[in-house]
Chains A and B, each alone.
Chain A
Amino acid sequence: MVNVMTAQTNSRNGLILWLAPPLLWFTVFMLVPYALLFYYSLGSVEYMTFKPGFSFANLGRVLTSAPYLAVLLKSFKLGVITAVGATIAAFPVAFCLAFHTTSRTTRTFVYFLVIVPWWASYLVKAYAWKTILGSNGLINSLLMSLHLINEPLTFFLYNQFSVALTLIYIFTPFAILSIYAQLERIPTNVIEGAKNLGATDFEVFRRVIVPLSLPGVVAGAVITFSLSFGDFVAPALVGGPDAVMISNIVVNLLGVAFDWPMAAAIGIVVIAFAMTLISVAQYLEHKAAVRF
């Protein structure tokens, strides 16, 4: 009895010891700032100074009025396009890594080839596409020197296409790593079992590999979606007026319009959305989870 008591006290002391520092950290640097964000979103701006208030008008505007809602939806759309595009591009590489590398050296080398572009500077990757798609860029120079065109083509750059392409480019390595981590865990005997029971390679792929890869696909797609949804580098570098995304709006509201309450209101809506997304992702991963 005494022993159980001390064990419990010990465990409670241990819990406090481990939990207190991070709890304090997240309270001070996350929850308090979020509360401030909410407080600011209820106020208004007059002559560039903040006026406290208690109005949900700003939050309402984010969800109903045209520019904000439209940009939110566009960011959502570009996030989905990026997640789907990166998953499609990633699957063949992850598949080869998991099933068609004959030696450990080949596997390590291909893995390395995937990691390098993932770790390469983000800005650099976005900028690189500018040098390819721009009016002085590689494609246009090539087409002009072949005399296929006389004027540089402008539809490659500064639109939603170039933003989507750049984001897919940036997040494909991440999707590869995420899907590969899952494919690697599929036991060989599951595949052999299916083959012995008469499944063709395509059937094994469609009915064994793809379903079992879903946890990795979902995990990768969720992160790819949220990182590209909130991206503000690609739209600023390779996007035009047509490809402004939600983070760019927030930055503009702060730096150009000094409309803090509106920026804060967008922040609150995006936080709520991210919370929902995490819950949905946890549910999906739980549903798709497989134990070998």
Chain B
Amino acid sequence: MRALGNRHLAWSLAFAVLAFLYLPLLVMAAFSFNDSSYTGLPFTGMTIHWYTDLIENGQIVDSIGASVYVALGVVALSTLFGLPAAIALDRYSFPFKEAFRRVVLLPIALPGVITGVSLLLFYMLIGIKLSLNTIILGQGTGLMCVTITEVFARLQQIGRNQEEAARNLGATEAEVFWRVILPNIRSALIGAALITFSVSFDEIAVTYLLTGRSNTLPMTIWSMLRRSATPEVNAVSTVVVVASIVLVVVGIRLARGSRAGRAEWSL
């Protein structure tokens, strides 16, 4: 029996925490349908006014496009540079490896604002103008550790037997990578890409400092929040939450598919 302790006590505590997690989101969703220009009780009627406003708000639509562009760029960079870093850390020993590992992991513990400030100084020195691309470079540096740690963990898990077998059977290094390593770490790469995408889509600190003329979605919401708290903010927030639910469902599906694949392999 894995069950342990008082089932009712455990679940009531867990439900209390889940209620705590959902209360604010539900309040916000409820007020997004409230027919009043300020967020508060009492309810004055149902409306979808705030949602239609949203669709007509060109700024928001533009910034969603900008956020998708940035997030895709960050995912591409993280994969392109994070994957080799993970392979180097797992498969090879080299001088200053510990130092390299620390540097690579540092952005996890470092406030985004600090990453932002240091890159801002760098851009000023070499004279790059701030744009969505400078945001991509900044977020890429901050988020690469996600891909590195996820892929590194998977590489440690799968070990080297297959790789060595392939080599003994005469596979070249390129073949070993494409036909042995890559298929084995595919789901870790997809998982890392999903996490990186969602964190980038939501990122504020680095973006705040490195943003040029066009804004990402969080920056647009941020400026709306600071200007005034119209129920439009509730509406856009609710849309974002619903969109993230869809992404989570897709993500869980993908992860489950890969887990099944792995179980098959271990047989």
Q: Which residues of A contact B (CB under 8 A)?
A: 10-11, 13-15, 17-19, 21-23, 25-26, 29-34, 36-37, 40, 89-90, 92-93, 95-96, 99-100, 108, 110-117, 119-125, 127-132, 134, 136-138, 140-142, 145, 169, 172-173, 188, 191-192, 195, 201-202, 204-205, 209, 222-223, 226, 229-233, 237, 246-247, 250-251, 254, 260, 263-264, 266-267, 270-271, 274-275, 277-279, 281
Contact = CB atoms under 8 A, between A and B. Distances in A.
Given A230-B110, A230-B112, 6 more contacts: A25-B141, A116-B244, A123-B222, A195-B1, A232-B205, A250-B114
A90 to B, nearest CB: 7
Given A26-B103, A267-B114, A277 B94 contact: no
Q: What does DSSP make chain A's interface, helix, strand, loop or mixed? A: helix
A40 B114 contact: no
Contact of B80 (A21, A33, A140, A278): A21
Contact of A112 (B25, B205, B252): B252
B92 A18 contact: yes
A11 to B, nearest CB: 7
8 contacts: A32-B122, A36-B125, A115-B252, A136-B38, A172-B21, A247-B112, A263-B117, A270-B110
B76 to A, nearest CB: 13
A22 B87 CA distance: 11
Interface in B88-103: 88, 91-92, 94, 100, 102-103
A7 to B, nearest CB: 9
Q: What does DSSP make chain B's interface, helix, strand, loop or mixed? A: helix
B245 interface: yes
B254 to A, nearest CB: 13
Most buried by B among A114, A137, A247: A247
Contacts of A110: 14, 18
A267 B209 CA distance: 14
Contacts of A274: 106, 109-110
Contacts of A226: 108-111
A188 B2 CA distance: 6
A93 B17 contact: yes
Nearest to B204: A233
Interface of B: 1-7, 10-11, 13-14, 16-18, 20-25, 27-28, 31, 38-42, 80-82, 84-85, 87-88, 91-92, 94, 100, 102-114, 117-122, 125, 137-138, 140-141, 144, 148, 173, 198, 202, 204-205, 208-209, 218, 221-222, 225, 229, 233-234, 237, 240-241, 244-245, 247-249, 251-252
A25 B81 contact: yes
Contacts of B138: 29
B60 to A, nearest CB: 13
Contact of A267 (B14, B92, B118, B252): B118
Contact of A254 (B82, B117, B205): B117
Contact of B202 (A22, A122, A205): A122
B84 A21 contact: yes
Given A95-B14, A112-B248, A141-B41, A123 B113 contact: no
Contact of B39 (A136, A250, A263): A136
A128 B21 contact: no
Contacts of B14: 92-93, 95-96, 110
Contacts of A36: 118, 121-122, 125
A233 B198 CA distance: 17
A17 B233 CA distance: 48
Nearest to A281: B109
A128 B28 contact: yes
A249 to B, nearest CB: 9
